[in-house]
């Protein structure tokens, strides 16, 4: 762990193992921290806050820019660690490291753009001035599916704003977090400003984050269930929270769309990170006039995908994160087929050619999916694509919005009016219109409804870590 500028073990001396999901083999042991280490880290962050927050924005910017350059230089090294630890193909890992470094660069710039304002007052002898100041100590919890970029997406704006931070990475992927904190240390982040607490059991660390009065804000990316628990706990002390939670993205192929073109995009985003991304489409709604052509093109591409260890050339599909993830996918596929869905390809665990040592599931396509099936309602987080035919473009908007989630959605159409109407009508925070990658460090990322609170990225992201202060001067 990295606490108050020093690398350290858990006070108990305990460690836990990290497993390569592609092979089932252990790849290292890391410190197994808990409440004691979380408390120490929070105290260190609290002690460092005064000096860090009083530094100029230009000084903080310079440190973040150094971190950006270091992360960019070590792109392949970090990507290889990610592939071994998380399982995604090396090319995808390389892309993620670049995406993660972009947040360091973006917020190195945004640090210098936290502007205040003056407001006309109702009295001649009065002046109003507004300042934005750092909120304080931030507790951050990040997921395993994007183990580098989800860290910088929180750490970069927090540090740019002048906050100090304590990070708990996912227990499945602590090695990527360690690599990033080595970069922060080398870039010159002062002692106590950025702290890393690793642990096999997130509960005691999360409880310390929630109950410790020195923590001013909690930022979390993960399941909706856990996000709700953190929000409830944070409410007792009115801590600020930002939550990026689950998704159940619809992919709409409207009547006028080119179904073959749409299918090419749908395959790329559906099987992104083996379907283990919160923005992966979970329901593919295709107008009945184009569903046959869409399905043919979609399946033809899926059956060519190659599963395996992400360090090998030509791999499209990596492993799922765990045995539990395999079981969830199997349950959804079995439920759908038992209720009338047609299995077009896949539908089974991959066991040949040594894949039985890891957590591999064949890329799968289902048709004739209906609203009474689990996969229609539950987030899958796996390589299963359910295709749903619809009759009317107006009706599909209601079908797409029929979910408690509201993170991402996709529209394919060649009609500008239809694109705008659907864009405005979808109750989701991120919409790709003929675009399967509507994300970037400069763009706000976040959801509506039970997909979360707040935004990460863009100029909105830094304001999640700032308080607004009004000064009324009598002159």
Both 331 and 233 in a single domain?
no
For residue 443, tell me if it sits in a domain: no
Alpha helices in 22-117 (DSSP H): 35-54, 57-73, 75-86, 90-110
Both 414 and 373 in a single domain?
yes
Both 257 and 300 in a single domain?
yes
Both 209 and 329 in a single domain?
no
pLDDT (average), residues 71-98: 98
Q: How many residues does the chain have?
A: 475
pLDDT (average), residues 169-190: 98
pLDDT (average), residues 202-218: 98
* 244 is a catalytic site residue: yes
**Residue 385 binned pLDDT confidence (cut-offs 50, 70, 90):** very high
CA distances from 448 to 107, 312, 407 (A): 24, 38, 6
Both 205 and 268 in a single domain?
no
For residue 195, tell me if it sits in a domain: yes
For residue 442, tell me if it sits in a domain: no
DSSP 361: B
Active-site annotation holder among 37, 244, 297, 379: 244
For residue 444, tell me if it sits in a domain: no
For residue 441, tell me if it sits in a domain: no
* 62 is a catalytic site residue: no
For residue 30, tell me if it sits in a domain: yes
Q: Which residues are CB-neighbours of 306 under 8 A, at least 6 positions away?
A: 314, 315, 316, 317
Domain of 50: which CATH number?
3.40.605.10
- pLDDT exceeds cutoff 90 at 40: yes
Active-site annotation holder among 37, 96, 185, 278: 278
Both 37 and 182 in a single domain?
yes
Number of domains making up the chain:
2
pTM of the model: 0.96
Both 286 and 319 in a single domain?
yes
Per-residue confidence (pLDDT) for residue 163, from 0 to 100:
98
Both 380 and 414 in a single domain?
yes
Both 256 and 238 in a single domain?
no
SS3 364: strand
Both 166 and 205 in a single domain?
yes
Domain of 425: which CATH number?
3.40.309.10
Per-residue confidence (pLDDT) for residue 394, from 0 to 100:
86
- pLDDT exceeds cutoff 90 at 253: yes
Q: Which domain holds residue 291?
A: 249-433
pLDDT (average), residues 70-92: 98
For residue 154, tell me if it sits in a domain: yes
Residue 348, sorted as left (phi over 0), alpha (psi -120 to 50) or beta, turns out to be beta
Both 129 and 220 in a single domain?
yes
Both 195 and 73 in a single domain?
yes
**Residue 349 binned pLDDT confidence (cut-offs 50, 70, 90):** very high
Q: How many CB atoms lie within 10 A of CB 77?
A: 11
For residue 439, tell me if it sits in a domain: no
């Amino acid at each position: 762990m990295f606490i108050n500028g020093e690398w350290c073990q858990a006070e108990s001396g305990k460690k836990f193992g990290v497993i390569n999901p592609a092979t089932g083999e252990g790849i290292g042991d890391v410190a197994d921290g808990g409440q004691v280490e979380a408390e120490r880290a929070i105290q260190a962050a609290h002690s460092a806050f005064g000096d860090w927050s009083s530094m100029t924005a230009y000084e903080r910017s310079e440190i973040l820019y150094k971190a950006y350059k270091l992360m960019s230089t070590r792109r392949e090294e970090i990507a290889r660690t990610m592939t071994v630890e998380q399982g995604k193909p090396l090319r995808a890992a390389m892309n993620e490291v670049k995406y993660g470094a972009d947040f360091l660069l973006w917020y190195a710039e945004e640090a210098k753009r936290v502007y205040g304002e003056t407001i006309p007052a109702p009295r001649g002898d009065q002046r109003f001035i507004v300042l934005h100041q750092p909120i304080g100590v931030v507790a951050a919890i990040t997921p395993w599916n994007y183990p580098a970029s989800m860290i910088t997406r929180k750490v970069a704006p927090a540090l740019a704003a002048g906050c100090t931070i304590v990070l708990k990475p996912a227990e499945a992927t602590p090695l990527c977090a360690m690599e990033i904190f080595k970069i922060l240390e080398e870039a010159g982040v002062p002692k106590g400003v950025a702290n890393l607490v690793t642990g096999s059991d997130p509960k005691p660390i999360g409880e310390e984050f929630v109950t410790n009065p020195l923590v001013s804000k909690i930022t979390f990316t993960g399941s909706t269930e856990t996000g709700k628990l953190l929000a409830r706990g944070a409410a007792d002390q009115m801590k600020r929270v930002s939550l990026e939670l689950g998704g159940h993205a619809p992919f709409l192929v409207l009547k006028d769309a080119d179904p073959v073109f749409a299918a090419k995009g749908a395959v790329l985003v559906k099987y992104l990170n083996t379907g283990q991304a919160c923005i992966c489409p979970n329901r593919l709604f295709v107008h009945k006039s184009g569903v046959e052509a869409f399905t043919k093109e979609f399946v033809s591409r899926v059956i060519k995908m190659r599963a395996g260890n992400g360090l090998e050339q030509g791999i499209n599909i990596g492993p799922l994160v765990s045995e539990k993830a395999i079981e969830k996918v199997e349950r959804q596929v079995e439920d759908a087929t038992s209720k009338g869905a047609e299995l077009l390809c896949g539908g089974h665990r991959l066991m040949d050619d040594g894949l039985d040592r890891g957590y591999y599931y064949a890329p799968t396509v289902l048709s004739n999916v209906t609203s009474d099936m689990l996969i229609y309602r539950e987030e899958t987080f796996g390589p299963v694509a359910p295709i749903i035919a619809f009759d009317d473009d107006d009706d599909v908007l209601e079908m797409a919005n029929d979910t408690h989630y509201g993170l991402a959605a996709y529209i394919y159409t060649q009609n500008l009016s239809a694109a705008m109407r659907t864009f405005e009508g979808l109750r989701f925070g991120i919409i790709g219109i003929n675009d399967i990658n509507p994300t970037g460090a400069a763009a706000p990322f976040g959801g509506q409804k039970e997909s979360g609170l707040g935004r990460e990225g863009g100029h909105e992201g830094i304001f999640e870590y700032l308080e607004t202060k009004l000064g009324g001067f009598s002159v």
